[in-house]
Structure 1
């Protein structure tokens, strides 16, 4: 028996007759259960994608597409020829050099002293790590203004310094490694730098309360590390990420560590993805439970179609053909429920994206839960539903084959 006839029979059983028979009713119930489970998968995947996107947007200002650091130690020196070779690696669009370390900051107004991270940057930095959308005031570093800085809004509020006050200054203190006898000469224990915050950024407390961006030459002088860097940060073609990483590692050697944005924040992204797949596993279990309705519905269908099975056997249909009919029926039921759930889930996600139906609540960066619909997630949902449908249909299909002989005798 050809495949076309198998699909025709399965489609006929899917439509069912408008009678009081149990099989059509049970099949509709099983399809509704699968649809609800499929919609839940689409919604959960889209929410996790949205949250991951929000995290990526938050971190892109201080975690570039690709970063190179020293495998040992904090700072390294790279000659001009090697730096030029790095810039020429295919897939790298922009490169910026950075020098950063922890410092002590204070201001005359507040008298407060606290730890911060001073990051020396060049004029390309804000093109590699885009925080311009979160920036207020002047991008003094890119403009080349000396002794000015861009700082986090939370830090400036704590220090009592405002970007509109031209006399407001931040004092930066960094340990002087050249002073080997602090007791004899305590005045030179620290190197000191005064900076005027011409701009401020508001991204998240993690960054707003920690970072100060200042011209690279000033920071190199303060740290007494002229010509040295703590990292090379790059904007790259993300589709060629692994290729760029391999090329950089080969060019620079084992003395340097090359990290993608994911690897720079491996813990947080691993946790988010683990949570996503844990929820997926739970929803698959729910889908399997829902598929028990399909097992029952197909079993009832086998009982109702015993005469049809006998006729098929009399026409020369093999056992595999009978089994294929009911497995195909299970696939059709699963697809019908899965596609309905897929459409429902996508529509709900689009409504959330457009109208923000479900609010986050509290003081968060977004008012409503973010959603991002990925085509691969939709494909995964359909494949999962089909696999579950095949598994659910296997037992009733085998039972149909066993029932073929008694049905033939009774016919």
Structure 2
């Protein structure tokens, strides 16, 4: 009894607008007169919760795919690349690497050369490719290709051996296997007197699978010295750097521009893949807008609910007005009622969305096992489980958007309630 009394005292300390708004929200459950209005209110609440849940789960899965693709992309590219401006190559790349290593974020550096050419096998199979010259011992410091080998090893790329390692999809398209001979055809320049392509034969020494189609179908690796011999370069084109934290790549790139000697170009992975990142951002924004419509539909159902409540409660409104309640107080009553529905619906949606986002991989896996279906084909997507990356910043934006839409939905019905004239409302009571 004491606890009940304390609860009643705390309620009495609340503004009367809150007390009446809370009472109207629960009225349908208490006496059944407004059960239909209460039912519509519950549907609106459930709709808001469903929309918030769907938005959180979809954006988390989208973030998961983005994270996986980005990690696989930078596992081959590196985090920062350093080029010599003149295009003659870094003859003394060791000193540049040593200077870059003075930055605490730099974990490793490796030289490289990139060439564009046509790979030919048997005269019938031709595929354009980017051929990258590397040093096997240094490459493992900046990329994960050594761990992504399906056949062979990076150590097979010895200078003078003219061995080549292909992406798994590229090897499949060329129909080659370990030990086969393929030719690399390259242009010798733009001179009209030198139209014949440069040809060099290589032996297939392995394949790798990065899980990113751009590299698996279009990248080949050779020894750095072999690449220099082919194009008569005095040194590597540049260095690829690996950082402690890839998200700090833009900051580290800016620091290296000021600290590295000579005329060097420094680009981080976000600039190297700026088009892809822009597409991903625009797609995510469109996904957010489209799924927000679900919340908007449910939130604007509150308009109908509150309009019906205002119509039903005109006598109560008139009595409150005659007792001295201002039009603004009447507005607050119905804003409280509608906002409460939005808050509860949003809270339910956030709780369900977070739980589903954390366990979406297990849930999808269970559905696949139960019904014997596969939502993601490993041959197409290179992953067998649905990734999820829940970001609390996204959750906060979703919750704020849901609450804002619910609040906006209360304004017109509340304004209409404030305009009720007591004399006319009580005329037929």
For Structure 1 versus Structure 2, the TM-score category normalised by the shorter chain is: 0.7 to 0.9
| 1:34 alignment partner in structure 2 | 48
* Aligned residue-pair number: 403
Identify which of 93, 102, 123 aligns with 2:107.
93
Task: Give the whole-Å Cα distance in 2 for the aligned partners of 1:337 and 1:250.
Answer: 52
Unpaired runs of 5+ residues, structure 2, are 1-11, 369-373
Q: What is residue 177 of structure 2 aligned with on the other side?
A: 162
Give 1:374's aligned residue.
391
* Matched residue SS, 1:136: strand
CA deviation string 1:57-77 (max 9, x = no partner): 442333322333456758566
Separation in 2, partners of 1:151, 1:47 = 31
* Alpha carbons 1:98, 1:233 under 8 Å: kept: no
CA 1:77/1:402 → structure 2, altered by over 3 Å: closer, same or farther? farther
The residue that corresponds to 2:380 in the other structure is: 364
Kindly state the Cα deviation for residue 204 of structure 1 after the two structures are TM-superposed.
4.3
- 1:178 deviates by 12
Deviates more, 1:401-410 or 1:128-137: 401-410
Q: Deviations over 1:100-148 (max 9, x none)?
A: 11134345x6775543221112323234222345322343349968634
1:290-335 Cα distance to aligned partner (Å, 9 max, x none): 3232012112223344455456556665444433332232221112
For residues 302 and 23 of structure 1, what CA distance do their matches in structure 2 show?
A: 11
Contact 2:249 2:269 in 1 (8 A): no
| Aligned counterparts, 1:7-406, within 5 A | 7-18=18-29, 19-21=32-34, 22-69=36-83, 75=89, 80-106=94-120, 112=125, 114-122=127-135, 123-141=137-155, 147=161, 148-163=163-178, 165=179, 168-175=180-187, 182=194, 190=198, 192=200, 194-201=202-209, 203-251=211-259, 256-306=264-314, 308-309=316-317, 317-350=325-358, 352-356=360-364, 357=367, 359-360=374-375, 363-365=379-381, 366-367=383-384, 369-403=386-420, 405-406=422-423
Q: Which residue of 1 aligns with 2:7?
A: none
Task: Please give the alpha-carbon distance, in whole angstroms, between the structure 2 residues aligned to 1:28 and 1:399.
Answer: 22
Any conservation in 2 of the 1:50–1:371 contact (CA below 8 Å)? yes
Task: Please state how far the C-alpha of 1:155 moved relative to its aligned partner.
Answer: 3.1
Q: Give distance in 2, aligned partners of 1:74 and 1:305.
A: 83
Q: What is the CA-CA distance between 1:354 and the residue it aligns to?
A: 0.7
Q: Which moved more, 1:286-295 or 1:308-317?
A: 308-317
Q: Residue 57 of structure 2 aligns to a residue in which SS?
A: helix
What is residue 8 of structure 2 aligned with on the other side? none
Alpha carbons of structure 1 residues 219 and 407: separation in structure 2 relative to 1, 3 Å: farther
- 1:231 Cα deviation (Å)? 4.7
- Whether contact under 8 Å (1:120, 1:217) holds in the other structure is yes
Q: Secondary structure at the match of 2:60?
A: helix
Partners of 2:170 and 2:77 lie apart in 1 by 20
User: Cα distance 1:143–1:174, how it changes in 2: closer, same or farther (>3 A)?
Assistant: closer
Output the CA distance in 2 between the equivalents of 1:223 and 1:16: 83
- Distance between the aligned counterparts of 1:216 and 1:67, measured in 2? 16
Write the distance in 1 (CA, Å) between the matches of 2:127 and 2:247.
41
CA distance in 2, matches of 1:255, 1:405: 81
Gaps of 5+ in 1: none
Q: Which region of structure 1 is more displaced relative to structure 2, 302-311 or 278-287?
A: 302-311
Q: Deviations over 1:351-370 (max 9, x none)?
A: 54114247436652245654
Question: d(CA) in 1 for partners of 2:421 and 2:262?
Answer: 69
Deviation, 1:269, is: 2.7
